[in-house]
Chains A and B, each alone.
Chain A
Amino acid sequence: MTWQLGRLAAAAVLALGVSATASAQTFRYAFQGDAQSLDPHGLNETFTLGFLGNVYEGLAAYDADLNLIPALAESWEVLSPTKWRFKLRRGVKFHNGNPFTADDVIFSWKRTLTEGSDQKVRGGLISDITKIDDYTIEVETPSPTPTLVRELVWLYIMDEEWAVANGATEAESPKSAETSGKFASLNANGTGPFVIESREPDVKTVFKRAPSYWKEIRSNVQEVVFTPVSQDATRVAALISGELDLAYPIPVQDWDRLEAADGVSPLTGPEARTIFLGMDQARDELLYSDIKGKNPFKDVRVRRAFAHAIDLEAIRKKVMRGASTPTGLMVAPQVNGFNPELNTPYAYDPELAKKLLAEAGYPDGFEVTMDCPNNRYVNDERICQAVAAMLAKVGIEVDVLAQPKSKYFAKVLAQNDYDTSFYLLGWTPGSMDAHNVLQNLLSCRNKETRAGLFNLGGYCNPRVDELTAQIAAETDPDRRQALIDEAFAIHKEEVGHIPLHQQPLSWGVRDGVTVAQRADNVLDFRNVVLP
């Protein structure tokens, strides 16, 4: 068996060698923007972290189906609810040849707590790391944190010696741009399967396969050329013309074109991002409505009426070209804590909606302004317009205020005191765990604990807060799931938000190229196979 495997591997290596010489095995792809920095702790944003995930690695990783797999840690065990032991992988080297050891993990964790770091949220989950030996560490958390390993996927490990030698011991972000260096923003040295050969921000980045990698991977790619192409039309044209092997995102309305064109196809699937509507339930009077002196959204019947007035199936068919997944939960199926039994959306029933509005004292409806981004989510503005048209049928007059994301977020987020009455937002929990959603979107707003930071409507139920705290600490999976279910059930009964759908991922791929489309919209070169 072992002998056979060895022969197979030898054959594979041989085949790889031959094909590598036959063609350069260059993979060319484009995204709408560029990674913001090469510093793995400078910005906590999906594309940047996904891009860097080909060069840097965390203690754990996600595979093609978003299952948690060991990476720089070989294994881990829970010693007590607040203490974990990680066995680190031996024989791993950074691209500059330095060996990976426990010191690098401790250094990287401390680096996430420096001033310029945008990863303080993750670093802050850990109160101390003790080095047992070079390949064993014990991690202590200030409170029980069952999602710790999932969070550590995105906490990339940097070589301490390299960082010290180049004056990059502090995370680099605009906060520190004037004081600290920028070496780590422009250079990278990780343990991943690729190294960055050259980079011109916003123009072109070239990756080369690392000479050795600690793990066997599917990919036969030797070189990756990444170009950001901001215009949708140009990106699609470049893909069809054969200049790219992969481009994303592809506008939903261009799918037919890709299918009709020779040599390329759209690659679509559900993203783990849930799009939902929220309503201001905190103020005593709505900021943008013709109802004065009271807030209709404080009445659960009004919120329920809204939920029943929106036809998710019509949005799926008409706006999303059949590619969205209507949902009744605030988390997607890929997210830990999702329960299919709770995922039935509110039934579309305009008559019931009218009845509920009449019961609540608004038989003729009312006016409200809806805040909506127009360049953040797939067809975001058109979803808002569709929602407005549906609500008009039950007498609610919705004035859609659609703006670019920079203006939209500046208006509705905490720093502008949640200046909205009715809004559309999307959310992918970074940890792929329901607790992130409960904490950020469903908890009562609390400036000190940071809970409910993105709970723009101010939904608040103390029982949900209590459950969220328990979920954070519960390590038994079954008991934890029961708590999550209870919290989501309460939220659903009270119509805290109105979930609409999981939006589709939309990539365009040259025929013959195999990639794994991960639900978090991350392109992992490890899974790219060229013909």
Chain B
Amino acid sequence: MIGFVLRRLLQSILVMLTVALIAFGLFRYVGDPINNLVGQDTSAVEREQLREKLGLDDPFLVQFARFVKNAAKGDFGISYRHRRPVAELIVERLPATLELSIVAALIALLVGVPMGVYTGLHREGFLSRSFMTLSLVGVSLPTFLIGILLILLFGVVLRWLPTFGRGEVVALGWWTTGLLTVSGLKALIMPAITLALFQMTLIMRLVRAEMLEVLRTDYIKFARARGLSNRAIHFGHALKNTLVPVITITGLQLGSIIAFAIITESVFQWPGMGLLFIQAINEVDIPVMAAYLVMIALFFVVINLAVDLLYYLVDPRLRVDRDRATGHG
């Protein structure tokens, strides 16, 4: 078990190095940061001096090695645009993104699972059919469009919710939260739903498919023959057995929720890491881009690891199999 975790951690470092390498390979195609750092009247000589100072003249392998060396010491450099350490910027933006992502994931789970169970049990019902049709919209409409449509309806036409930003935030140490103020909660509703919609439909369809599968199996039939209540069968036996793939997908999707918050954040001007990254791309702020990509890779790696560990908890068979496979039988 410990060996497994260690091995996964080593692999994750490799993954992050690869991500950083590819990222650095791509930065040369993003544009030239210098023009965003100086005004139009700045002379060519000064521009060259700045380029040299920032080390942009070096070949990309040298730049990459420098980045890795500093990153290993926890130093991600200084943002060209904000003139502040990147690590500081990311820590400042982290709470906004995490709050949004976690609330979105909760919405996706808490709405998606019951909807999946319901549509699995009542396949032909009117409500099930409407859920299925709606879920098609959720899967096929791009996040960007859903966000804009929500803004138009609830922000512009009905004027119930704010169209952008995070509302009032309260600082708890270094963490800032919008969950404790009315304006913060109101501001969270639309972005969270926008971000949750795709995952929600995915979870719903997954749970539905798994439920249908499980309900056909013999042990459900035996359970019915034993005269167990529907409730016990559906939730005690059937749902529990659908959860392994649901956990995998939800876990993996949490990574993509955080990563794809970029789009939702830029539509709602949500001051999280995704927005920071988008602005960094526009301004060719290489240190911020590099740190963000590596961090997202880290998130994925950690989440994958957590999902693997959760398997052990949920499914006793896996515990046995893995131990036997690695020779600890």
Q: Which of the segments A14-22, A198-206, A391-399, A478-486 contacts the partner chain?
A: A198-206
B159 to A, closest residue via Cβ: A241
A96 at interface (Cβ–Cβ under 8 A)? Answer: no
From B41, B51, B82, B163, name the one whose CB has the most chain A CB atoms within 10 angstroms: B41
Q: In the complex the two chains form, is B164's CB within 8 Å of A409's CB? A: no
Chain B 1-48 residues near chain A, CB threshold 8 A: 29-48
Do A175 and B279 touch (CB < 8 A)? no
Given A45-B39, A410-B32, are A174 and B83 also a contact pair (CB < 8 Å)? yes
- Which residues in B have their C-beta under 8 angstroms from that of A454? 40
Stretch at the interface among B100-108, B118-126, B223-231, B269-277: B269-277
Query: Beta-carbon contacts of B52-65 to A below 8 Å, as 1s and 0s?
Result: 01100000000000
A229: nearest chain-B partner, CB-CB: B269
Nearest-Cβ distance from residue B45 to partner chain A, whole angstroms: 8
CB distance from A450 to the nearest CB of B (A): 5
User: Are A234 and B36 closer than 8 Å at their CB atoms?
Assistant: no
Query: Could you say which of B109-117, B150-158, B245-253, B299-307 contacts chain A?
Result: B150-158
Q: Give CA–CA (A375, B283) in the complex, Å.
A: 12
CB distance B271 to A237 under 8 Å? no
Contacts of B50 in A (CB 8 A): 174-175
Chain A residue at minimal CB-CB distance from B36: A406
Contact of B148 among A200, A233, A427 (CB under 8 A): A233
Tell me the chain B residues, 133-166 only, with Cβ under 8 Å from chain A: 148, 151-152, 155-156, 159, 162-166
A178 surroundings in chain B (CB, below 8 A): 78
Chain A residues lying within 8 Å of B37, measured Cβ to Cβ, are 43, 173-174
Residue A406 contacts which of B32, B42, B165 (CB distance < 8 angstroms)?
B32
Cβ-neighbour of B31 out of A174, A234, A243, A406 (below 8 A): A406
A151 to chain B, nearest CB (A): 10
Q: Which residues on the A side are within 8 Å of B78 (C-beta)?
A: 174, 177-178
Main SS at interface, chain A: loop
Complex: how many Å from CA A467 to CA B48? 29
Q: How far is the CB of B94 from chain A (nearest CB, A)?
A: 14
Q: How many A residues touch the partner, as a band?
A: 35 or more
- Residue A344 lies at the interface, judged by CB distance under 8 Å to chain B: no
Docked CA distance A406–B283 (Å):
7
Please tell me if the beta carbons of A175 and B53 are within 8 angstroms of each other in the complex.
Answer: yes
CB < 8 Å: which of A230, A243, A407 contacts B163?
Answer: A243
* Cα-based distance from A121 to B47 in the complex (angstroms): 13
Q: Which single member of B48, B54, B275, B276 contacts A415 (CB below 8 Å)?
A: B48
Type the 1/0 row for A16-52, where 1 means its CB is closer than 8 Å to any CB of B. Answer: 0000000000000000010011000011110000000
Q: Are B83 and A121 in contact (CB under 8 A)?
A: no
- Please measure, in the bound complex, the distance between the C-alpha atom of A310 and the C-alpha atom of B32, giving whole angstroms: 31
Q: Which residues 102-144 of A sit at the B interface, judged by CB distance below 8 A?
A: 118, 120-122
Interface centre among A122, A238, A414 (most CB of B within 10 A): A238
Q: Chain A residues near B43: list those with CB within 8 A.
A: 120-121, 450, 453
Q: Of A42, A415, A450, which one neighbours B32 at CB under 8 angstroms?
A: A415
Measured CB to CB, the closest approach of chain A to B19, in angstroms, equals 22
Q: How far is the CA of A407 from the CA of B45 in the complex (A)?
A: 20
Task: Report A-chain residues with C-beta under 8 Å of the C-beta of B271.
Answer: 200, 202-203
Interface centre among A36, A227, A414 (most CB of B within 10 A): A36
Which chain B residues lie closer than 8 Å to A204 at the CB level?
165
B260–chain A nearest beta-carbon distance, Å: 16
User: Please, how many angstroms separate the alpha-carbon atoms of A242 and B54 in the complex?
Assistant: 43
A402 contacts the other chain (Cβ, under 8 Å)? no
Q: Which residues of A contact B81 (CB under 8 A)?
A: 36, 174
Asked if B151 and A202 make an inter-chain contact with CB atoms under 8 angstroms apart, the answer reads no
Say yes or no: A406-B82 contact (C-beta < 8 A), given A237-B163, A241-B163: no
CB of A289 within 8 A of chain B?
Answer: no
B198 at the interface (CB under 8 A from A): no
From the candidates B29, B51, B84, B155, name the one contacting A182 in the complex (CB within 8 A): B84
Specify which chain B residues have a CB less than 8 angstroms from the CB of A406 in the assembled complex: 30-33, 35-36, 282-284
Residue in B33, B159, B163 whose CB lies within 8 Å of A234 = B163
**Known A234-B164, A241-B163, A450-B43: A407·B155 in contact at CB below 8 Å:** no
Least distance between A177 CB and chain B CB atoms (Å): 5
Bound Cα distance from A122 to B166, whole angstroms: 40
Taking the nearest CB of chain B, how far is it from the CB of A35, in angstroms?
11
Residue in chain B with minimal CB distance to A119: B39
Chain A, residues 411-438, CB within 8 Å of chain B (1/0): the string is 0011110000000000100100000000
- The answer to whether B151 and A234 have CB atoms under 8 Å apart is yes
Task: Bits for B156-192, please: 1 = Cβ < 8 Å to A, else 0.
Answer: 1001001111100000000000000000000000000
CA distance A120 to B44 in the complex (A): 13
B282 near A450 (CB under 8 angstroms)? no
Q: Which residues of B262-303 have CB atoms within 8 Å of chain A's CB atoms?
A: 266-269, 271, 275-276, 278-279, 282-284
Chain B positions 62 through 80: 1 when the CB is less than 8 Å from some CB of chain A, otherwise 0? 0000000000000000101
State the Cβ distance, B188 to closest chain A Cβ, in Å.
Answer: 15
**Bound: A33/B275 CA distance, A:** 12
Contact residues in B for A203 (Cβ distance below 8 Å): 165-166, 271
Is A215 among interface residues, defined by CB-CB distance under 8 A?
no
Report the separation of the CA atoms of residues A185 and B85 in the bound assembly, to the nearest whole angstrom.
13
Cross-chain contact A230 with B269 (CB below 8 angstroms): yes
**A-B residue pairs in contact (CB < 8 Å), sample of 16:** A120-B42, A174-B37, A178-B78, A230-B279, A230-B282, A233-B151, A233-B267, A234-B268, A237-B148, A237-B151, A237-B152, A237-B164, A238-B164, A243-B155, A415-B48, A440-B40
User: Lowest 8 A-B CB distances belong to which pairs?
Assistant: A44-B39, A406-B31, A410-B32, A407-B31, A409-B35, A203-B271, A121-B41, A238-B163
Q: Which residues of B contact A (CB under 8 A)?
A: 29-51, 53-54, 78, 80-84, 148, 151-152, 155-156, 159, 162-166, 266-269, 271, 275-276, 278-279, 282-284
Query: Which chain A residues have a beta carbon within 8 Å of chain B's beta carbons?
Result: 33, 36-37, 42-45, 118, 120-122, 172-175, 177-178, 182, 185, 200-204, 227-231, 233-235, 237-238, 240-243, 375, 404-410, 413-416, 427, 430, 440, 447, 450, 453-454
> Beyond the given A175-B50, A203-B166, A235-B164, could you list 20 further A-B residue pairs with CB under 8 A, ordered by the A residue number?
A43-B37, A118-B39, A120-B46, A172-B83, A174-B37, A174-B50, A174-B54, A230-B275, A234-B269, A237-B148, A238-B164, A241-B155, A241-B159, A409-B35, A410-B34, A415-B44, A427-B40, A430-B40, A440-B40, A447-B44
